Structure 1
């Protein structure tokens, strides 16, 4: 994911960057939609291992295409015409590669921590959707394996559609002169994604703990429902915290040279 942002910054003009990022990231959501939709069918027909073989094979095919067709910048693509190359390079500022990362300066900036906190809070809920929703549909709503998979696609399909809509709206606002800080905040995805991955680790484990033990206020007679209430309650709280921190402290302006 950090590499995707870096590549798009070189290939896409600023006025089109939000929609491009949204389109690229929606691939992750649509992949989840396809995965949840087809995995139950594969499991029923060929067993669990077929899921890993199928998606692993697709990943390998993608890698071959990527290595042969993707380039880090317009300067490296031999198939670009001179007009295309000049257009792309004219919309981006070329800089020398960074050799020393000023970690102390970066970590002293409130917007950086706003990005880290927001990414952590966002990924907590995202990984719970990814890992625990089939269990929720099966245990609580009593759906079978195929029905669980089909219902699991709904949050991811919604994210794919809303992210692309948001990207187009954001680019339209930038084109009309609205501040980039208001429209598009944060840029240190590599650093914040580390926090996001940790949210996936802790969120998935915490969900399992809540489902097995419940919270201290949980009574045994309301064990199942109460535990899931706690899971969703924590996720919603973190989403709200992340949103508040993001809007109060983040910025889209340059803060580190």
Structure 2
């Protein structure tokens, strides 16, 4: 973790090992999440019938930029001979010579059914973020995170059997995998609160949380290679089996608190416990004050900022390739290197922002609140502004790719901004806070493809400009909301304050507490501060 040194026994600090183990776990999580996106290409029979092929003749559409500059260069004869499939190297001769035996191990699914299979994971994922945070707070991250990957891996091994039986069974398996995966990120937030000193949290979260980008980069080419050389069932057998090795390592090496770790050095344990002692000394709540939590304006500031960030990022991931195809005449998904660049840039930017964010605060250059605001600006406002610029780049494909990478990189800084802010508000309910924020953000961002599709029925440049302006406006509003209403003070509901009627939250950590006879006492909550580490 940055300047962390080895212990006097020559061992790597336990929290550094935890960061590495968690990062690999997040990679495994994403391998199990998106392996279906790759394997389904080899699982499903392509449209091979003569009727379907003939129906495609004459249906070739030209991109906006192609219609302006390159339409005259299109070989009309090729389109007449091969229709839309001419660009794919697929022709009528291949139709006649097609051997049905090659499809004997493939599923016959319509495009709607394929969409249901791919979307099934997210229907389950959406539902368990808040329960995941509470489970980890009660039973520990070790059981929740490890159990999630264990169940997901075992179900993944069953996918080939379920797929051959019925695509309904396949959908059900993917829904269950989504359900158990939804608990992971909120559970990780609980681990951070119990293990990582406040001045190291931005770094830890950036390295571990943003390893999802590495999971995506790894899964796309590796699963494609497995499917091509060994068949699509091998994708699930190999990814599911390999995940079990991580589960074994996690259960053996991970411990929910420094006190439970048998191999941590006394120096490191002392440093961690002293760094988080003010948080740990807070009275532990006996019951969850749901009403007060849901009335917390600073928590809603985090949730709104996270929602704006995810809205813009999901637009980039799901719709910008369509924009470049329908407007620019270029699909970024056609080149493996280009499709990986946004994820790589996001991961690298996340690590850099984590190190810089911790350094800015620990060195005294800026306070914690200003650090959260700075990285929220980078992760929410700047991508929104860049999205608007996309519509005014004309037919410059190179600049579109650059903007995609820059926007993805800026999003990677959210771990040092609004996501880290959940620990500032409530160490005791960091998992629940993350669950609420993630659930709301995910629910809204799932609407991005629907909104974009409704606003671009004719796939014109002006329609896409409207989508980009809407996104930029939403992200700007979310950024402003965070700037005005965010706080870094520990909230009273961290200690189980019971209801919204008894407390009135105001900005900056000031709370009016009802004393029962019309008396109102105003108090300023103390921020959690720790000194810069000296021995570790």
Is the TM value for this pair above 0.5?
Answer: yes
Check whether the contact 1:174–1:183 (CA below 8 A) recurs between aligned residues.
yes
- The 3 A distance-change label for structure 1 pair 49 and 31 is same
- The 3 A distance-change label for structure 1 pair 12 and 153 is same
Greater Cα offset, 5-14 or 19-28: 5-14
Equivalent residue, structure 2, for 1:253: 489
Which structure has the higher relative contact order (CA within 8 Å, separation 6+)? 1
TM-score with structure 2 setting the length: 0.41
Equivalent residue, structure 2, for 1:202: 447
Equivalent residue, structure 2, for 1:24: 208
Between the aligned partners of 2:219 and 2:323, the Cα distance in structure 1 is 17
Equivalent residue, structure 1, for 2:78: none
Equivalent residue, structure 2, for 1:171: 358
Residue 77 (str. 1) matches residue 313 (str. 2): no
Equivalent residue, structure 1, for 2:195: 11
Runs of 4+ in 1 over 6 A off after TM superposition: none
Equivalent residue, structure 1, for 2:473: 237
How far the C-alpha of 1:227 sits from its partner, in A, is 5.5
TM-score with structure 1 setting the length: 0.80
Q: Identify unmatched segments of 5+ residues in structure 2.
A: 1-184, 373-417, 423-432, 495-536
Check whether the contact 1:40–1:145 (CA below 8 A) recurs between aligned residues.
no
- The 3 A distance-change label for structure 1 pair 173 and 142 is closer
Larger radius of gyration, structure 1 or 2? Answer: 2
Check whether the contact 1:40–1:146 (CA below 8 A) recurs between aligned residues.
no
Between the aligned partners of 2:333 and 2:234, the Cα distance in structure 1 is 15
Q: Identify unmatched segments of 5+ residues in structure 1.
A: none
Between the aligned partners of 1:135 and 1:39, the Cα distance in structure 2 is 23
Greater Cα offset, 98-107 or 14-23: 98-107
- The 3 A distance-change label for structure 1 pair 157 and 203 is same
Check whether the contact 1:120–1:196 (CA below 8 A) recurs between aligned residues.
yes
- The 3 A distance-change label for structure 1 pair 206 and 214 is closer
Q: How many residues align?
A: 247
Greater Cα offset, 81-90 or 57-66: 57-66
1:99-248 alignment to 2 at 5 Å?
99-132=286-319, 141-143=329-331, 146-147=334-335, 149-177=336-364, 178-184=366-372, 186-187=421-422, 188-207=433-452, 210=453, 213-215=454-456, 220=458, 223=459, 225=461, 228-248=464-484
Deviations 1:76-120 (A, max 9, x none): 111223332222212112256533122222222321111111111
Structure with higher helix content: 1
Check whether the contact 1:30–1:156 (CA below 8 A) recurs between aligned residues.
yes
Equivalent residue, structure 1, for 2:274: 90
Check whether the contact 1:180–1:253 (CA below 8 A) recurs between aligned residues.
no
Q: CA RMSD in A?
A: 3.0
Between the aligned partners of 2:320 and 2:234, the Cα distance in structure 1 is 21
Between the aligned partners of 1:11 and 1:23, the Cα distance in structure 2 is 15
Greater Cα offset, 194-203 or 67-76: 194-203
